[in-house]
Chain A
């Protein structure tokens, strides 16, 4: 599995199939990226569960915080980890003790731990690293196009009018999957010395 770039179909299949998402490191502070993503994904119809031991007893947009993954009372499809790369492995270890196992482990923009990814993949779990599910959902549905962002997708179908709780179609024609975009190529060149 190449974790430098993902085919749009890989991301699309994940976002189309998962229903419940546990967000580890969710913050109640409304300018933090995790809050943005939590709110957006809840509004797009995902069953969101905030995981943060520091906020147990409180709730995030009406959803009660839990201290750890083990405290969740129902199967979870995806774990979205809002922690630095150095804090990924313990979360993955905890996830691997769940029954049933989650289908997807997603690490937030900026977070990457290849060893943890390998471990999860060995257990049959799909892994995404260094991406934001809010941005990917907004991109594949082209909702993000309102911000002038290149969705890298095309469609000749009438656009939906997004409303609260509505799931948007992610099945647009892709323009070159992440890995062939010039900017990704250029970014790779840049990180070479």
Chain B
């Protein structure tokens, strides 16, 4: 008997799940419970002391959520994962394990506007500092490294610009600096890009987008690649030092190559509290079963819509890495050969007002602040998701005032094109 290696679609359906022990239920049950009974006092103590595998309380872990965690870990090629309440919660939990007051991260300027806000404002009150670098200029990451740098953070496909990041080049900078590379893989999903294959040490997702995929549930996840040695130079005491909250356990020594995921659970989720509802985990799991099919359709539709817009007389520019003429097309061919995703921006010759008109004329596209839904979505980032940035930062993050962002759904592409056509000429 030799090991068979199931493909991505098989993992998307099966990884982490198996028929329920008590009932034989084949779909993953929603374990809608706060707590789990212990077998006896010793079992309880073993669970609290991290000696045994098992369930205690849904803020720390839940069987429905565990299926989601293992499934995403398997799809990303990581050693373990931790599901949390949202993509933003995932980021806070990750950085709580890595940063002490006065520490620094280097982040790409091309990020989701909410992440830019979180890093700039919320993190400041924790004493965590951020240095910004330009994803198109690898040397800018190298220049930003200081003795206080503890991590580098990028998006694989950036929101809203749809640009592709050279993950391997930035992973090399992180390796040289001796810090982990964290990749937000929300817009690509592991179906299009697996950042761990390219040198990422930690992957985070907003499950709210394509992974859940139906616009019905918030969620976030942290995937541990198992690649980083946290004990090398005592820069990461949460992982390398005896933890007083667990009577002196050293997490890396005890849990090896999934110690980071354990730290996120038993130090992050346990103490900060952003637990994912098991109901949301169930909805997201159901979504993931069709991830490969949906992503194929999302990408096929996005390419057709981008091509249509690129040929339209009222359109000034289309930024979609899947177009042969796009500046990110080479990176897209390398990192995302199955498709360049389904979120991108374009600008109209008549500028800001024409963009606002277009949004209000659309009948099938929904005007809202989300991406990665089965439905096609549209928004004007400069006045919404990226409105807290000043004009220069808007341009740098890919959200210039004349830019409109689309998230292409899985409807029939002819209908999407017809809707854009009528809205552009209305």
Residues in chain A within 8 A of chain B (CB atoms): 7-9, 30-31, 33, 35-36, 39-40, 43, 109-110, 132, 135, 138, 142-152, 154-161, 163-164, 173-177, 180-187, 189-190
Contacts and interface: CB of A to CB of B under 8 A. Distances in A.
Given A148-B61, A148-B66, A164-B39, A173 B4 contact: yes
The 6 closest A-B pairs by CB, nearest first: A182-B77, A148-B69, A150-B73, A174-B3, A149-B80, A177-B3
Contacts of A182: 76-78, 194, 196-197, 225
A108 to B, nearest CB: 10
B20 interface: yes
B20 to A, nearest CB: 7
Counting contact residues on chain B (CB < 8 A from A), the size range is 35 or more
Contacts of B19: 156-159
B258 A189 contact: no
Nearest to A188: B227
Contact of B197 (A7, A147, A186): A186
A150 B49 contact: no
A184 to B, nearest CB: 8
Contacts of B77: 181-183
A74 to B, nearest CB: 27
B226 interface: yes
Contacts of A43: 52
A187 B227 contact: yes
Interface string B45-79: 01001111111000001010111011001101111
Given A146-B61, A183-B227, A158 B21 contact: yes
A145 B3 contact: no
B199 A189 contact: yes
B3 to A, nearest CB: 4
Given A33-B254, A154-B15, A186-B227, A176 B82 contact: no
B66 A145 contact: yes
Contact of B81 (A148, A177, A189): A148
23 contacts: A7-B2, A7-B3, A9-B2, A31-B49, A33-B254, A138-B53, A145-B16, A147-B80, A148-B61, A148-B81, A148-B265, A149-B73, A150-B15, A155-B18, A159-B19, A173-B4, A173-B6, A177-B5, A182-B77, A183-B78, A186-B200, A189-B199, A190-B175
Contact of B226 (A39, A159, A180, A183): A183
Given A31-B247, A147-B53, A150-B81, 9 more contacts: A40-B52, A143-B53, A146-B61, A149-B70, A150-B73, A150-B79, A176-B5, A180-B5, A190-B227
A114 B233 CA distance: 25
Given A146-B54, A181-B77, A190-B175, A36 B18 contact: no
A132 B10 CA distance: 28
A110 B240 CA distance: 13
A177 B76 CA distance: 15
Among A151, A156, A182, A184, the one with the most B-chain Cβ atoms within 10 Å of its Cβ is A182
A187 B17 CA distance: 27
Interface in B242-288: 242, 246-249, 253-258, 261-262, 265
B22 interface: yes
B355 to A, nearest CB: 40
A17 to B, nearest CB: 15
B83 interface: yes
Contacts of A161: 21-22
B1 A9 contact: yes
